[in-house]
Amino acid sequence: MKKTSTRLADGRELIYYDLRDDTVRDAIDRRPLERTVTTSEVRQDVLLGDCVAIASHRQGRTYHPPADECPLCPSQGERLSEIPDSSYDVAVFENRFPSLAGDSGRCEVVCFTSDHNAAFADLTQEQAGLVLEAWTDRTSELSHLPSVEQVFCFENRGAEIGVTLGHPHGQIYAYPFTTPRTALMLRSVATHKEATGGENLFDAVLERELAGERVVLEGEHWVAFVPYAAHWPYEVHLYPKRRVPDLLGLDEGARTEFPKVYLELLRRFDRLFGEGEPPTPYIAAWHQAPFGALEEFEGVSRDDFALHLELFTIRRTSGKLKFLAGSESGMNVFINDVPPEFAAERLREVASS
């Protein structure tokens, strides 16, 4: 992998990740851009204890542009985009309309391929491996920023999810706090560790799922399963078999096997609802240990956390979506219409030949 860092016309950072070591990236951003002005602010809800990012500048962000005006495609002639070069393998840049900025963190866009009509599932294993390297490198770099406590790499796919740019891409949020979902996990880990005399909760969950009926696919280094208490109609958790706190901890075997396992998982998601259905909308979310202090989680260290990816769709059956209505949105109590055991069986059935 070759990494080349440069700057866009308004001062934002752009990083190219290339498969070939001899690739030269010297294209200049020729757009007449003024420096981005952001109004991001993090406010704490004192009743719930969580945080909300207030970012009014995002109202003006690009919204469903036609394909020939996509800002994530490479620049061609006088058609200028966020990527000055005429092609790229993987490109990462600071979001022009960030939810988090300055002392409130940082947001980046990860372009998986220059092919506008592709999807992550269409990548080769070599290309998917390069995306993994980009995620890992950005996690490392962002973790050293003084305002950053947790790094979250994710992909939103599909208009049903709320995606406003059709180009295959994901995002990275670098939060200045430990996110509520991660905090819940860490509290559960701490409680279980104390109650069992030191057993790791993630290890216990993985051991139970490996012995059960909800495993979807398994390799030498990775296992994918539908969790016992899945929140979403089709939800799969992908774990490395060797517990590590973040992407940086993956060994060479896990890095090499990941593209094969993950691409197969995504392709199964697209086959869930049969021929003629639109591509399955999904969210793919990497859960990594915070880089900040964990004093509030007594007896727990970063090494007690288990890196994993959670992949889920809001489509519950052909032509029907799962909406977060009263119970989910009002009380955060999920109701799942699809039994996890059925979801796992269905995902096994649609295995590629």
Active-site positions?
Answer: 169
Report the alpha-carbon distance of residue 317 to residue 333 in Å, rounded: 21
DSSP letters of 128-154? HHHHHHHHHHHHHHHHTSTT-SEEEEE
Distance, in Å, from the CA atom of 223 to the CA atom of 345, rounded to the nearest integer, reads: 15
Q: Report yes or no: 18 and 153 within 8 Å, Cβ to Cβ.
A: no
- Nearest CA among 352, 264, 277, 287 for reference residue 321: 277
Q: Which pair of tokens denotes residue 209?
A: 């799922």
Tokens of 230: 């899945």
* CA separation, residue 129 to residues 19, 22, 240, 247, 252 (Å): 10, 18, 15, 13, 11
Quote the tokens at residue 137. 């490198």
Task: Please give the Cα distance from 129 to 123 (Å, whole number).
Answer: 9
Q: Which amino acid is at 123?
A: L
